[in-house]
Amino acid sequence: MPALVLLGAQWGDEGKGKATDLLGGSVDYVVRYQGGNNAGHTVVVGDQKYALHLLPSGILSPGCTPVIGNGVVVDPSVLLSELSGLNERGVDTSKLLISGNAHIITPYNVTVDKVTERFLGKRKIGTTGRGIGPTYADKINRVGIRVQDLYDESILTQKVEAALDVKNQILTKLYNRRAIAVSQVVEELLGYAEQIKPYVADTVLVLNQALEDDKVVLFEGGQGTLLDIDHGTYPFVTSSNPTAGGACTGAGVGPTKISRVIGILKAYTTRVGAGPFPTELFDEDGEALRRIGGERGVTTGRDRRCGWFDAVIARYATRVNGLTDFFLTKLDVLTGWEQIPVCVAYEIDGKRVEELPYSQTDFHHAKPVYEMLPGWSEDISKAKSFSDLPKNAQNYVKALEEMSGAPISAIGVGPGRDETIEINSFL
Ligand code: GDP
Ligand code: IMO
Ligand code: MG
């Protein structure tokens, strides 16, 4: 059982941080393979709450080596402040490994993210403003800056020059902004180099050797399946591949090594930022889900859009990720509803559709077809086994499992580590 992938099955914020932390005590490595500090992963340990953005959630498990893979984009100032914030709280971060091939989010990438969104006006994506899209764009355009470039001043200067050449034209002529000086960027980046150096490693080699030695490696996704650049609701997506294949390219591990792919699935649905969302609620139920579920963005503090569970999306996540299991989170939030609607299909221009349409226009027109499932009123937050759940909660879980296409192997009934019902072991 060497390598597992744990990823978001919806639009992010499914509870990946909690699920990763739960497994963190039993695995040797936790690896972030894509995204950057656009993520906000909450981990609750006893009375302590941590919000991790760039660092893998495994950093909170003492026996575990946290790894930032080559597919991640790293903002060095965020990295250092997240590390010092954890150190101040007594967390040992010395085991962290960062790929020398990971790309750096430069100050100009953050600027470009913000001005582009402003320029798009009402067509904006609603990004987190952290420079994610522009950094991946530079990577694909082959003008990106990598962690290893921090250790060769001449190469770094040449690369920043190449990247700013066109960008400064755009910033000054199109966006009416001031040009960014190469020397200022180089100086800032070099200022981080020595502090980051102890963590930089050939993470591809380290992880493949660990797998040879039968160590257990957990890949922790950021964002979620529907935010994937290839498989999500494009263009309202992030600029990386949170789906399972991203773990291979973003960490340098072959698909033959991966034995389990766990989809984290919220018992209802949320989304932050713009884009289609068929089961979104604009009524008191939506407000109640937001309030009871504490649905406010960990990174940007924006209210999350809330809606009922969407089985079409869950089935899609099973398919594009080859999911072997689901971890159903936040079941406790649904306590108290007499009836719980679940979206089982869409109606698109008068036709019933069972699977996610590939056409963006069709998805924008999709209306949810609901099935009503009976709710429960008993407090389930202390449940330790499936049989502790009230019959209707059990039936809700079973119905979701049947519709979603993979076994539900764990259920979250609260934010804490212990507030979990484990059905099938992941390891
Ligand atoms: P992530 O980005 O996928 O790691 O998820 P976030 O941390 O952004 O959002 C999930 C929120 O739900 C956090 O506040 C978690 O503490 C909380 N949470 C996770 N699992 C459960 C659960 O089973 N029940 C409840 N009530 N809260 C949960
Ligand atoms: P975690 O890992 C929810 C969303 C943004 C925006 C879109 C593009 O905590 O689940 P970006 O800054 O990535 O270019 O923004 O993606 N988004 C997230 N939504 N959870 C996240 O991360 C997200 N990371 C990005 O709101 O709609
Ligand atoms: Mg989050």
Any atom of ligand 2 within 6 Å of the Cβ of 41: yes
Average of pLDDT values for 240-267? 98
Yes or no: say if 11 and 277 are a contact pair by the CB < 8 Å rule: yes
Residue 28 annotated to the active site: no
191 is in an annotated binding site: no
Residue 296, burial from CB neighbour count under 10 angstroms (0-12, 13-18, 19+): middle
Please name the amino acid found at residue 86. Answer: L
238 is in an annotated binding site: yes
Yes or no: say if 221 and 247 are a contact pair by the CB < 8 Å rule: yes
Distance 415 CA to ligand 1 centre (A): 6
Closest CA to 318 of 66, 36, 9: 9
Residues 186-203: tens digit of each pLDDT = 999 999 999 999 999 999
Q: Residue 330 above 90 pLDDT?
A: yes
Rounded Cα distance between 40 and 298, Å, is 5
Phi, psi values for residue 122, rounded to 5°: -75, -5
Residue 13 annotated to the active site: yes
Rounded Cα distance between 278 and 341, Å, is 13
CATH 3.90.170.10 is the classification of domain 3-91+202-422: yes
Q: Residue 4 above 70 pLDDT?
A: yes
Distance 14 CA to ligand 1 centre (A): 6
Q: Residue 1 above 70 pLDDT?
A: no
Helix and strand element counts for the chain (H, E): 12, 20
Q: Which residues line ligand 1 (CB under 6 A)?
A: 8, 12-18, 40-42, 44, 294, 298, 329-330, 332-333, 412-415
Tell me if residue 88 falls in helix, strand or coil.
Answer: helix
Residues 294-320: tens digit of each pLDDT = 999 988 899 999 999 999 999 999 999
Which ligand is in closest contact with the Cα of 57? 1
Q: Which residues surround ligand 3, an ion (CB under 5 A)?
A: 13, 40, 298
42 is in an annotated binding site: yes
Residues 373-404: tens digit of each pLDDT = 999 999 999 999 999 999 999 999 999 999 99
User: Measured from the CA of 298, which atom of ligand 1 is nearest?
Assistant: 8
Domain boundaries along the sequence of the chain? 3-91+202-422, 103-198
Residue 325 annotated to the active site: no
- State the pairing for strand pair 420-422/48-52: unpaired
Any atom of ligand 2 within 6 Å of the Cβ of 304: no
Residues 115-165: tens digit of each pLDDT = 999 999 999 999 999 999 999 999 999 999 999 999 999 999 999 999 999
Q: What is the mean pLDDT of the chain?
A: 97
Average of pLDDT values for 353-370? 97
CATH number of 103-198: 1.10.300.10
Residues 6-52: tens digit of each pLDDT = 999 999 999 999 999 999 999 999 999 999 999 999 999 999 999 99
18 is in an annotated binding site: yes
Residue in this structure with the two tokens 């009976």, named with its chain if needed: 374
